[in-house]
Amino acid sequence: MTIETRLHPELNLEFSPPIATIMFDAPDNENRLNPDSLRSLGALINELSSSTDIHVVILTGAGEEWFSAGLMNPAIRATMTKDEVIAYVIDGNQICDGLEALPQVTIAAINGKVVAGASELALACDIRIAGEHSTLMLPEAKWGGFPGAGAPHRLPMAVGHAHALELIASGKQIDAKEMTRIGFVNHLHPKG
C-alpha cells in the first residue's frame, strides 16, 4: 500500500514499504528547502531511523529541471541575521549527518540541477544516480563562503581530494558525464 503525505508545502513523502521516497516539491522555487522544510526533513529522518518497515530511502526532486537548489543563496542570506545563518547551517549539518547515519540504504535520485546544500544532502546518501541532463554546482565560494553541511568532508571521499577541492574552490558547474567520471554519481539514466 502506498501512502502519500505532504509533510510541508515544499516536501512530500511517499511511503510504500519497504521504500520511502522523499521529494523536494517546490518547482517554482527550484525545489529549495527553507528553515521550516529543513526541520520537517530532519524530523522525518529521525523517524525513519527507527523504522523497521522501510529498507530504502530515496531523495528526489519534483519535475525534471531541479533536484534542489539547496538551502541558501545570497538573496536569502541577506534577509537573515548572523545567528540565524549559523543556526541554519548547524541544522543542515545535523540533517546531513542524520541522513548519512540512517540504517536504510539511501539513494539520491538526481533529476536535474543539484546545487549548494542539495549536493550535501546527496553526498550524505549511500548511492547517487542522476539523469543524463543533471548538473552539479557548489557555488558557495562565489558567494564568499563554503559548503557548511559536510561537503568538505564527504566530497573528497566520493571524488578524491583534487576533484573535491576544485569543485569547492571554483564553484564551477559540471555536467552528468563529469559527475559520473569523477565518482559523484554511480550511474546515469535517460531523462524522464
Strands 187-189 and 19-24 come out as unpaired
Residue 89 has pLDDT above 90, yes or no: no
**Average pLDDT of 86-106?**
92
Q: What is the pLDDT of residue 151?
A: 74
Q: What is the pLDDT of residue 180?
A: 96
How far is 108 from 31, CA to CA, in rounded Å?
Answer: 14
Q: Please state which of the ranges 26-30, 73-77, 100-104 shows the lowest mean pLDDT.
A: 73-77
Q: Which CATH superfamily is domain 3-189 in?
A: 2-enoyl-CoA Hydratase; Chain A, domain 1 (3.90.226.10)
Q: What is the pLDDT of residue 131?
A: 96
Residue spans per domain, the chain: 3-189
**Across the chain, where does the E strand assignment appear?**
3-8, 11-16, 19-24, 56-61, 66-68, 105-110, 113-115, 127-131, 135-137, 173-175, 187-189
Q: What's the pLDDT tens digit per position in 125-166?
A: 999 999 999 999 988 777 767 666 777 778 888 999 999 989
Reply yes or no on whether 120 is catalytic. yes
Amino acid at 36: D
Residues with Cβ < 8 Å from 74, sequence gap 6 or more?
143
Bond preceding residue 18 cis, omega within 30 of 0 = yes
Catalytic residue among 30, 65, 140, 166: 140
* Angle formed at CA 80 by CA 77 and CA 83, multiple of 5 degrees: 115
Residue, of 152 and 36, whose pLDDT is higher: 36
Residues with Cβ < 8 Å from 23, sequence gap 6 or more?
11, 12, 13, 14, 59, 60, 61, 62
Residue 175 has pLDDT above 70, yes or no: yes
**Average pLDDT of 14-38?**
91
Catalytic residue among 30, 64, 120, 178: 120
Strands 19-24 and 66-68 come out as unpaired
